[in-house]
Amino acid sequence: MKNILFVCTGNTCRSCMAEGIFNHVVQGEDKLEGVKALSAGISAFNGDGSNPKAQKVLKELFGIDVSSHKSMRLNEKDIQRADIILTMTKSHKEMILSIMPQEKVKTWTLKEYVLGDEKKDESMDVNDPYGMDELEYKKCAKQLKYLIDGLITKLKKE
């Protein structure tokens, strides 16, 4: 089993949506055997639900239900268990590596991992929609879906 770990700040928006999208896609038409995603937040409160706007846009756009998601604070065991750690921002990546520098070989921003040098002049961060309107959540969800489709394509080639 290959474990993918998506990381953001509170684990109620971006990483939660990424986990939901990834697991939905790999269990659906784009089957990818032996791969599962989890998510966690650098500053998460264990047990918070997913953001209602994140729930709504994933359901509307992709038919994905993340209403049962419970946030999880990132810990060393999660980092060690993960085969690939994909953060939403460069600062999330830097926080992980400041604590566990030995995990550098498996820690990337999601954009770095998927896009590589293709967009090296672009920010490697997925913007946080927290506190924004529903339109920002939709933009974020669409961006995550695009990146996760690229991630799945890359994983299938490995």
Report whether pLDDT(133) > 80. Answer: yes
Distance, in Å, from the CA atom of 44 to the CA atom of 133, rounded to the nearest integer, reads 21
Report the pLDDT value the prediction gives residue 31, as an integer from 0 to 100: 74
Report the pLDDT value the prediction gives residue 43, as an integer from 0 to 100: 95
- The DSSP bridge partners found for residue 6 are 39, 86
Indicate the number of domains in the chain: 1
Report whether pLDDT(79) > 80. Answer: yes
Distance, in Å, from the CA atom of 152 to the CA atom of 24, rounded to the nearest integer, reads 12
Q: 16 near 72, Cβ under 8 Å?
A: no
Which one, of 12, 82, 18, lies nearest residue 42 by Cα? 12
Distance, in Å, from the CA atom of 131 to the CA atom of 124, rounded to the nearest integer, reads 21
Verify whether residue 133 is a known catalytic residue: no
Distance, in Å, from the CA atom of 110 to the CA atom of 148, rounded to the nearest integer, reads 8
- The pLDDT tens digits for 22-56 are 999 998 766 778 899 999 999 999 999 999 999 99
CATH of the domain at 41: 3.40.50.2300
- The pLDDT tens digits for 137-156 are 999 999 999 999 999 999 98
Q: Mean of the per-residue pLDDT values for the chain? A: 93
Pairing of strands 35-41, 107-109: unpaired
Verify whether residue 128 is a known catalytic residue: yes
Report the pLDDT value the prediction gives residue 30, as an integer from 0 to 100: 62
Given the residues 30, 48, 128, 149, select the one marked as catalytic.
128
What is the rounded average pLDDT of the residues 107-113? 96
Report the pLDDT value the prediction gives residue 51, as an integer from 0 to 100: 97
Taking 3-state DSSP, the helix, strand and coil percentages for the chain, each rounded to the nearest 5, stand at 50, 15, 35
Which one, of 51, 71, 59, 72, lies nearest residue 21 by Cα? 59
Containing structural domain, residue 115: 2-157
Q: Which tokens go with 52?
A: 């209602």
Confidence of residue 109 (pLDDT cuts 50, 70, 90): very high
Given the residues 13, 14, 16, 140, select the one marked as catalytic.
14
Report whether pLDDT(70) > 90. Answer: yes
Report the pLDDT value the prediction gives residue 123, as an integer from 0 to 100: 87
In this prediction the pTM is 0.95
Q: Which tokens go with 79?
A: 């980092």
Report the pLDDT value the prediction gives residue 122, as an integer from 0 to 100: 74
Verify whether residue 14 is a known catalytic residue: yes
